[in-house]
Amino acid sequence: MAGQNLKGFARLYAAFINSLAGFRATWHHEEAFRQECWLALAGVPLGLWLGQTGIERALLVGVLINVLIVELLNTAVEVTIDRIGIERNNLSGRAKDIGSAAVLSSLILAGAVWLLVLIR
């Protein structure tokens, strides 16, 4: 990995560049991530506008960002499993299903938070 022996600001810069590459790769290869980004692009300003307190705004925006984070982690799991091998394997399938369940759970959480905050 590039930058693993760096220290201080150089390490932070290399980590930032690697993170941008991760965002770019996920955007390019994952339709679900693109859809969730569009949801966040619309939802974040809406959440900032609809939330009446700082806590409400943080909840409405935070759960949308959480969906993106969980999708990134799920994609990392899927890519790693695919790197290991494409043949069917029960454990690989289970890991992918669990990652998918995590994404679904984050989406359900986001929907529940938005519903609870907005129905007051």
Catalytic residues: 71
Q: Give the three-state DSSP class for 1.
A: coil
Quote the distance between the C-alpha of residue 91 and its chain's center.
Answer: 23
- The pair of three-digit structure tokens given for residue 49, joined into one six-digit string: 């506008």
d(CA 104, CA 98): 10
φ, ψ of residue 63 in degrees (nearest 5): -70, -30
